[in-house]
Chains A and B, each alone.
Chain A
Amino acid sequence: QSALTQPASVSGSPGQSITISCTGTSSDVGAYKYVSWYQQHPDKAPKLMIYEVSNRPSGVSNRFSGSKSGNTASLTISGLQAEDEGDYYCSSYTSTSTLFGTGTKVTVL
């Protein structure tokens, strides 16, 4: 199974909103509610930001939101801040495995 497809990079100015897409297939993203998003800073472990498409773990800012339509999931960051800069990965459950996305580098201009 192939990795989920994400844009390589997305950028925005402080205070703006950005959206990162994650495209899969009807066997993964389109089939299950188990889509999650992770933030990763350099030389750090990934951090869970969104689970089950649109739920935020305790402690994650409400500036982060998730959604899904068909085979594509999206992560939106509102009110962009300097600390949001980093790599973001989506992930989806499949019937036999877990897939990760190709990753998106978010730059705050």
Chain B
Amino acid sequence: QVQLVQSGAEVKTPGASVKVSCQASGYTFTGSYMNWVRQAPGQGPEWLGWINPNTGGTNYAQKFQGRVTMTRDTSINTAYMELSRLKSDDTAVYYCARERTHYSALDIWGQGTMVTVSS
């Protein structure tokens, strides 16, 4: 079945970087854009950006420009999101989510990866 499986929870200190992976299965990985969304405790979702797995092209939310990098490895159907210069308010669950069609909606979500930033 179509699914996205993410890497496990991370604990980081302020100023460090974190890299979260998202392995896709059950569909053509290069055929759908992959988005990254985060959700801080008790808050609503926040969009970080997307990557086109076919071309590697990216579009990042202005808020995260310069701190976020999205990449992919098509040989293993995996997308990555790296966030640098972590702060305490980056503590959140990070999700990868597949676009149904470009711009349309996010129809398949990973299980989420908890990233905790604490000194």
Contact = CB atoms under 8 A, between A and B. Distances in A.
Interface of A: 3, 32, 34, 36, 38, 45-48, 51-52, 57, 89, 91, 93, 96-103
Interface of B: 35, 37, 44-47, 59, 61-62, 95, 97, 100, 103-107, 109-112
6 contacts: A38-B45, A45-B112, A46-B45, A89-B45, A98-B47, A99-B47
Contacts of A48: 100, 105-107
Contact of B95 (A45, A52, A99, A101): A45
Contacts of B59: 96-97
Contacts, number: 56
A101 B44 contact: yes
A45 B95 CA distance: 8
Given A45-B112, A51-B100, A96 B106 contact: no
B44 A98 contact: no
